[in-house]
Each structure stands twice: as C-alpha cells, then as structure tokens.
A = this chain, B = another copy of it.
Amino acid sequence: MAQKPSIPKGTRDFGPAEVQKRKYILSTIETVFKKYGFMPIETPTMENLSTLEGKYGDEGDKLLFRVLNSGETWEQIRNPKSEIRTQGEFNKVITEKGLRYDLTVPFARYVVMNRNEITFPFKRYQMQPVWRADRPQRGRYREFWQCDADVVGSDSLLNELDLIQIYDEAFRKLGIGNYELRMNNRKVLAGIAEVVKSIDVINSIAVAIDKLDKIGEEGVRKELTEQGFKEEELNRLFEIITITGENEAILNQLQSKLQTSTEGLQGIAELKFILQSLQPINQSTHQPINLKLDFSLARGLSYYTGCIFEVVSTEGSLKSSIGGGGRYDNLTGIFGLTNVSGVGISFGLDRIYDVMDELKLFPQALNATSTKVLVCAFDEHTQLTGINITKQLRDAGIASELYPDLPKSNKEKEKPMLKPMNYADALNIPYTVILKSDGNYVLKNMTEKTETVLSLNDIIHHLSTKH
C-alpha cells in the first residue's frame, strides 16, 4: 500500500529555516516597495489560456503549464466524428486554463479589467510564484517567485528614477552591496539598428545580443550573418555596443554615432535625464548607486519600448541576473486599453536566495523557530503546573512551548529531561524552564549552559528584557 513519495521535478519543498530566509527577503523587498508608495495586488494562479497564449513568444507558449478541463473530455476525443487532428486542436478541447507564467501579463489584464476603479498613475507591487515548464537546472526552477513593482499610467522618467532607487535600497538592505545595475534604452537599440542596417532589424539585434554573455561575439555574429547581416554592418554594431567607460563619456560617444537617428537621440536624451536626476541623489549619500550604461543590454522580450534594466550580482560563483525590467508603452493594448505607458522591475526571489545563501548574507538571528523558552515537566503533576506557566509566559508575549510528552519507558524516566533538552538544542530554543519536584522553577540558558532558580515573575521579566 505504501507509496514512496516524491515531488514533481523542478519544484521544491521549503523547510522552516528556508521559509524564514525566503520571508526575510520578501519582507525586505516589500518594505522598500511600500516606502516608495507601491500597493499590493494578487492575481489567480490560473489564468485563461486566452490571456496567456501569444504573449511570451512561441517558446513561452510551449513552456506554459496547462490545466485539464474538468469532465469527461475523453468521450469527446474518441468520438469517431471528432475533428481533432493536431496537438493544437486537442489542447483547445481539453484545456482552457494555464498557470501564471509571469506577473506582468496578469497585471496588464488586471489593469484593463479594473480600469474604472484604478487611480492612475497606478503603482502596484506583486509577489507571487510563477510556473514554467523549463528544463530544471542550477538556479532554474519550474516554480519560482517574482517580486514585481510597476507604475502604469505615467510616462514620466521619474518613475524609472524611483525604480532604480528601489533596486539599490532593497539590495543594500539585503546585504548584496556588490551588484551592478545595467541600464540601456530600447530607443537606443532602435537607433543602433538604424545606423547599422535599418530600424526594422531592432528585434533581430535585440534577440541576438541578448545572448552575448552565453554565446560570445562570435556566436552573435554567426547568428546575425545567417539572418543576412553583412560583415561591415556587424563591425559597426560591435563598435557601438562594446563602447566602455564612464557613463557620461560613453553616452557622448554614442551620441556622435547616432546623430542620424531621431529615435536613437530620443533614447540618449532619456538616459541623460535619468543620469542627471540621479546626481543629487548620489551626492547626498556615501554609497552612490552603481548604475552602469551598457549598450549591449537588450532583454529578449519585445514589449519594452524605453529604458531597460538588468541587475547582476558581481560576487560569488553565481553571477546571474537577479532582477530586470523596463518601460513598455503599450502592454495593456493587447487587452484593449491603449495609450497607457508603464514601467516595471522584477526581483527574482530564488536567485537572490541562492546568492545570499552562498555569500552567507542572512542574519544570524534568523532562527527556524520563534520559540524563546521551552517549559519542561517530568510527570502529570508538574505538567499541570507547566500548562499554567506556559499560558502566563504567552500572555506576557513570550513565544513559549510546553514539551508535550512525558517519559514513558523506565529508561526515559531515569533521565526525564533528556528528550526535552535534545528538542530545545535541535531547534535552537535559547531558554528552558525546568519544573523541579521541590516546586522550584529553574531557568536554563541553553547557550551558556547556566541554570538559575527563579520565580515565574523573574523568569518573565528576564525573558521579556532579553532581546
């Protein structure tokens, strides 16, 4: 009868210590979101496939987890008259819902459905899991959490400025001081496309240079050559996207190269405005924000139209992206609400966790249990006293437990405190109260291994004043 249990590949259980650490990250980010005026929303785990399909490219559609319709679909399918001939037609009959693939598309749907109740600009944050049927590997899971902040209904670049500050404040609060916030602009990429070949090739260029980290310059050249790019065009492309130096200097270089592109110059103006607005902020602090222009930053998804961002942790073995985002001018358009500009960023909880875990950035005090004291009785009589003591400790706001089991075997009765003490040690509970047969209460400091006979009032006082 007994099954050997397992969980689906790419998914994970989180034990108490992991949940505490994950919640620490989530609440740190949430605190920053709130400080900047963002408000929470939550959307359903399942969305209609009509909402999800076609929003993430062909690759994305394949990675959607689809939910089977309820009812007897088999009847429909085995019917000889059934006209189902392809996987696509098959899917239409048996599935209408899928699991949330990201938080951006559900957010766009939410905005459109609730446009009459929403006050714009609408600054929302959302922290929920998403699902992708990707091949699981290190740092890539099939269920993972995103933490998004978006502003819709305002085209002001001050929103970008806020999001940059949110990134910086959140990562610093988490202890991830060594990160790089890369910024580019889709209009700059359009300008580059224009001077390299023509403005229509922006998506080819964006998709290809997005893989620069993975496949290198040779790989990108190969991919674009196959798409008909000439060598001189590729030379022009790499001359531009490999410009390095101080932000202001490289922006000036870029400007001289994009003189002929109206859109490119517009992108440069946007980047300039942000850098300039950031100056007074950076001057008022010891730790200026490490914002770095990177003209090779593309971000695959094609809905971005303005500034784009990516955050990379630069310490430890995991130099992976821990966040990204950008401005989109028409995300809600697919759901029928046009001319609503928005900009958003995302934090990848699971990647951030992996980085913090490797770099040991979690606070020492994060304990799996919140219990401050374990009350230990050795027989029915002291257990009754224990019920009362535990109640009074809890009434005083002290997280407490009464060890529930009494010694059963004779061997256990010889050392009645063995199991409770092992329990307290295993869970890192800092104090125990041992109820003695003479009616005394002994407070034991589990770290220092010291014992003191105290009254209940003194115990409460002692535990209330310790951190």
Contacts and interface: CB of A to CB of B under 8 A. Distances in A.
Interface of A: 1-8, 11-16, 19-20, 22-23, 34-37, 39-48, 50-51, 62, 65-68, 70, 72-75, 77-78, 84-87, 90-91, 94-97, 99, 109-110, 112-114, 117, 119, 121, 123-124, 129, 131, 133, 143, 151, 154-156, 158-159, 161-162, 165, 277, 280-281, 284, 333-336, 368-371, 374, 383-384, 387-388, 391-392, 394, 397, 399-402, 404-406, 422-423, 426-427
Contacts of A151: 404
Which residue among A44, A333, A383 has the maximum number of chain B CB atoms within 10 Å of its CB?
A44
A86 B77 CA distance: 11
A426 B119 contact: yes
A143 B42 contact: no
Contacts of A95: 68
Given A5-B50, A8-B96, A74-B90, 11 more contacts: A2-B336, A7-B43, A12-B44, A14-B41, A14-B42, A46-B131, A73-B90, A74-B86, A156-B405, A280-B388, A284-B391
Give the oligomeric copy count: 2
A132 B139 CA distance: 31
A165 B392 CA distance: 13
B402 A44 contact: no
Given A3-B336, A110-B13, A280-B388, A8 B87 contact: no
Nearest to A35: B399
A156 to B, nearest CB: 4
A448 to B, nearest CB: 22
A50 to B, nearest CB: 6
Nearest to A6: B48
Contacts of A119: 422-423, 426-427
6 contacts: A13-B43, A20-B40, A34-B370, A45-B129, A46-B65, A66-B68
Contacts of A161: 387
B3 A143 contact: no
A149 to B, nearest CB: 13
Contacts of A426: 119
A11 B97 CA distance: 12
Contacts of A1: 334
A5 B51 contact: yes
A2 B44 contact: no
A316 B23 CA distance: 35
Given A5-B113, A44-B11, A87-B74, A370 B68 contact: no
Nearest to A158: B404
Contacts of A73: 87, 90
B74 A13 contact: no
Query: Can you list the 10 inter-chain pairs with the closest CB atoms, starting with the nearest?
Result: A2-B336, A37-B401, A11-B44, A16-B39, A156-B404, A34-B370, A119-B426, A19-B40, A74-B90, A37-B371
Nearest to A368: B39
